[in-house]
Amino acid sequence: MQIRVSLIRNLLAGFGAALVLSACGGGAGQDEGQSGGVGDSVNADSGTFVLEQSDFSVDESAGSLSLVVRRTGGSRGVVNVQYQTIEYGPSVTNRATAMASGTGDFQSLGGGLRFADGETRKTVSVEVADDSEAESDKVFGFRLTGVDRGRLGQPSSSRLTIVDDDGDDGGGGTSGQFQLSASSYTVAEDGGTLTVVVERAGGAQGEASVRYSTSQYDPAQSGNADDVNFGNGDDYDGTTGRLDFGDGQTEASFQVSITDDAEATGNLTFGLYLFEASTSLGSPSEATVTIVDDEQPGDTEPDDPEPGVTGEFRMASSNYYVSENGGSVRFVVQRVNGSDGAASVDFATAVTGSGDGHAVAGEDYTSAGGTLEFTDGETERSFSVPVIDDEEYTGALSFAVRLSNADTAMASPSQATVQISDDEQEPTESGAFRFNAASYSVAENVGSITITVERVNGSTGAASVDYATQVLSSGSGAAVAGTDFQAASGTLDFADGVTTRSFQVAIIDDGQYTGNLSFQVSLSNADTAVVSPALAAVSIVEDESQPQGVPTLVWDAPTTNADGSCLDDLDGFRVNYGLSSGNYTQSSSVALGELQSSPTGNSTSCGEVVSYRLPLDSLNSASWYVTVQSRDSDGNLSDHSAEIVVTVN
């Protein structure tokens, strides 16, 4: 088996070469348990990355808008998330244009966000241009294009509206902006509820709406309040909803329930934010709420309920939230103000209405009902309701659960509302583009792979989208363009009504065992929109047998310095070994003449690349960490190469 090391020219003056490793071997080039396939780059603990909202509006006079990227379902490790703005094609009415040479409506962006280990929220700022012309509102797009770990969730793209503020020529410049009445609020723990006022400033023409939500800060950190809906505690009852403003209305409010416990916890905080304004958001659109503790250290628990009190039943929260693809939602029923003796209460799901916004039993969720039996002293029971994931965009839907027939008494709340968030992209008339799969697999010896692109949620009119292959970062399992596959790019044109087109990528069979390798294909520059998956992984499955015997280290060395001059002072190399990362306890210094090389010998022409091979027969059965350093005739050594792991069976 071979473990390949690629050398590139050193960026420092003098002899030598910097070393970048790219493993191309099966067992000896990887950690145990690695397959070298596509799945290696996806770590479930790294989380799912989504945009906070799928629609966003901003007044053109605001100068910029901020988009929030959230990391959910895990926060382990460092993850890079790529993004870009989208200029829609001519088929999109009132499309905004990217800024160029002093003209245009929005800043064209493309880049990456680096999430540190444990970090769950990042923002991207996009500049918008303010002109003095009365015109219609204009739209452009923003999307997340890929991650190097974890996965993209929904929504991964957003439709952004620049609201004209120079008149009423279809622009809505007098419809106002939504903002919170303060950037911070304070409420006593025993206050019961916090009332939050949302203001409509800068105009109030026409009907408008804005959504609001509480936001739990990291519960692992001291001083952060716990939302009862997340099962971490009971400091406040998280809520979300929509405020509808009538023509001329400038204020509305919502309430957050605060729970008074008997413990001295100190002051606690949580967040509030506004989103999905039908006009635009002003400032502040986020706020921090401080719950002021009403206990002092050393306070004792209140007396237990009197013996013989059977208690009352209530729902633990009046609001629950679940994604359409979440599988089920769990409800907690509490027995409060006493728990003496056995008691029971019935529960059942119920519709909240008909039509848009209301879930249908059997289509959006499964009806459930039954009786919860509480034993003597038991204070909490739960039940779950399955949620059905369909393939159609319906928007958010709601249903209810209700308690009844308690053989003791009821407390408030005795019913709860469930909101099911949609995981499909809102359809547009002209549709959106995506790959028909998030990953593909092809045998190394079949010659090519066919990749299919779908046009979903509409197919009116002609439309097009660009495609391209992309190499992964160098390292174990990364395919190389021109060596393992032929780079491909182009444009797929879809006629009116056409919903699928395909392109091919040529696969190169090199006749050597390298293990499974992978690369990516991506979609961009759609003149409608792109939805997930817009980035797909392609795995090239090895067709050669894994060689047995002594592993061999292979590296390629250029014969020129960084400035292009001939490299005439390379004397040899040092190969370093260690049983732990960065701790190299053994090394082998080898002269050029002691190494197998290709071209044969060392009298090479300036500009050639020499491939050197060194059998690793000195390594016993273990996993070794290996680097290579180049050496000049005076014994000076270059920096260590990147480190690889060689597993010797």
For residue 225, being part of any structural domain is answered with yes
Residues 190, 285 share a domain:
yes
| CATH code for the domain in which residue 535 is found | 2.60.40.2030
Residue 353: what residue type? G
Strands 151-152 and 48-51: what pairing? parallel
371: helix, coil or strand? strand
Residues 463, 402 share a domain:
no
Could you say which of 292, 320, 339 is where a domain stops? 292
Residues 416, 342 share a domain:
yes
Residues 460, 433 share a domain:
yes
Q: Which residues of the chain have pLDDT under 70?
A: 1-44, 89-93, 100-102, 134, 165-173, 217-223, 225-233, 295-308, 425-428, 473-476, 546-552, 554-565, 567-569, 592-613, 615-623, 642, 647-649
Could you say which of 541, 559, 592 is where a domain stops? 541
* Distance in angstroms (rounded) separating the CA atoms of residues 191 and 626: 63
Q: What's the order of all strands across the beta sheet hosting 55-59?
A: 55-59, 157-163, 138-147, 79-86, 110-115
Question: What is the pLDDT, as a whole number, of residue 144?
Answer: 87
Residues 261, 187 share a domain:
yes
Structure tokens at 393: 């965009």
Residue 81: what residue type? V
Q: Is the Cβ–Cβ distance between 151 and 120 less than 8 Å?
A: no
| CATH code for the domain in which residue 635 is found | 2.60.40
For residue 171, being part of any structural domain is answered with no
Q: What's the order of all strands across the beta sheet hosting 286-292?
A: 184-188, 286-292, 268-275, 208-215, 240-245
Q: What does each C-alpha distance from 593 to 161, 179, 597 come to in angstroms?
A: 67, 74, 9
For residue 168, being part of any structural domain is answered with no
Residues 134, 90 share a domain:
yes
Gyration radius from the chain CA atoms:
31
**To which residue do tokens 């416990």 refer?**
261
Residue 288: what residue type? T
Residues 594, 519 share a domain:
no
Count of domains forming the chain: 5
* Distance in angstroms (rounded) separating the CA atoms of residues 208 and 198: 13
191: helix, coil or strand? helix
Could you say which of 375, 399, 421 is where a domain stops? 421
For residue 355, being part of any structural domain is answered with yes
**To which residue do tokens 């391209």 refer?**
468
For residue 300, being part of any structural domain is answered with no
Residues 433, 537 share a domain:
yes
Which domain range does residue 253 map to? 177-292
For residue 376, being part of any structural domain is answered with yes
The widest CA-to-CA distance across the chain, in whole angstroms, is 99
Residues 411, 435 share a domain:
no
Q: What's the order of all strands across the beta sheet hosting 596-598?
A: 17-21, 2-9, 552-558, 609-615, 596-598
Residues 399, 440 share a domain:
no
DSSP 294-327: ---TTPPPPPPPPTT---EEEES-SEEEEETTS-
Question: What is the pLDDT, as a whole number, of residue 401?
Answer: 94
Residues 183, 265 share a domain:
yes
For residue 327, being part of any structural domain is answered with yes
For residue 343, being part of any structural domain is answered with yes
Question: What is the pLDDT, as a whole number, of residue 517?
Answer: 87
Residues 146, 57 share a domain:
yes
Question: What is the pLDDT, as a whole number, of residue 428?
Answer: 58
Residue 506: what residue type? A
